[in-house]
Amino acid sequence: MSISSITDLFDSAADEGAGMSQASVGLMVNNLNANTMLGAQGASADDLAGDQVTLFVEIIDKSGSMGVVQDTVIHAYNEQVRALKASKMADSILMSTWTFSTRSELLHGYLPLDSVPDLSRAVYSPDDLTALYDAILDAFTSVVAYAQTLIDAGIQVKVVVVVLTDGQNNASRHSAAAVATIAADLLKKEYYTLALVAFGVDGLDIAREIGFPTANVMDEDTDASSIRRALGTISSSVIRTSQTLVGAQGSQSFFS
């Protein structure tokens, strides 16, 4: 997929009812790079089981402070994916995973759950600082483009973006305001859900900075049982969202 073709997808997203603003489109165009372009790829419309799909984007903090719970995160993530695979909605969910420390890293684009690889120490090795804003903006850039390819192909799409972090941003090139600009446009679309899980920090403060709904914030401690509980709740919430009508997911907290 070329830069020009992705830019065309952003323009299509702007032309939709309650479309993306030119400010958001400009931010995403300027954020196109090898990582975000690769993140905009996934299963084709012809490969899907039906004409409806839920895109689940998980963005996981792997800054140095997460090192003490490295194995817990790995285990909880793999259990989460197994729970999604076992659900009746498994065939209608595609998943993409990002991690971030000083920079964001795409683990995989939009894959059927059976193709999602296990998390391991090789790819989840916490270190360095927290480029929270950059990671979210990268994920936004990719999901808007990929979702639009499916929409243009006649697929009904729901998008769930969940961020997990144990700290405030301290390393991003982009600002909280840039993230909030795009978040505001996404939330105008009835098919986007944005949620935040904060481990050991005030998630409400972070959510307000980046424009995420405060109703979709989960505050947990940074310990093994809390992390396992949080990722288990996320999988249940994704399954429930995949079963709802477009727009209905906005009527209650994502985690309720």
Q: For residue 72, what is the domain's CATH number?
A: 3.40.50.410
Domain that holds residue 18: 3-40+50-246
C-alpha of 250 from chain center: 16
**255 in a structural domain:** no
Q: Is the dihedral of CA 82, 115, 190, 192 positive or negative?
A: positive
**252 in a structural domain:** no
**103 in a structural domain:** yes
Residue 251 has pLDDT above 80, yes or no: no
Which residue, chain included where needed, has tokens 């792997």?
Answer: 62
* DSSP per-residue string spanning 197-235: EEESS-HHHHHHHHT--GGGEEEE-SSHHHHHHHHHHHH
Query: CA separation (Å) from 203 to 1, 164, 214?
Result: 36, 10, 8
**194 in a structural domain:** yes
pLDDT given at position 72: 98
pLDDT given at position 247: 62
Is residue 156 classed as helix, strand or coil in its secondary structure? strand
Q: What is the pLDDT of residues 182-198, one digit of tens each?
A: 999 999 998 999 999 99
Of the pLDDT bands very low, low, confident and very high (cuts 50, 70, 90), residue 229 is: very high
Is-contact 40 150, C-beta < 8 A?
no
pLDDT over 70 for what percent of the chain?
96
| Helices and strands counted in the chain (H then E) | 8, 6
**203 in a structural domain:** yes
Q: What's the structural domain count of the chain?
A: 1
**254 in a structural domain:** no
Q: Which of 85, 46, 36, 66 is nearest to 198 (CA)?
A: 66
pLDDT given at position 128: 97
User: Residue 94 and residue 80: Cα distance in Å, rounded?
Assistant: 14
Determine the residue type at 103.
R
**69 in a structural domain:** yes
**251 in a structural domain:** no
Q: What is the pLDDT of residues 194-222, one digit of tens each?
A: 999 999 999 999 999 999 999 999 999 99
Determine the residue type at 196.
L
pLDDT given at position 248: 57
Q: What is the pLDDT of residues 38-63, one digit of tens each?
A: 999 999 999 998 899 999 999 999 99
Q: What is the pLDDT of residues 4-27, one digit of tens each?
A: 888 888 888 887 766 899 999 999
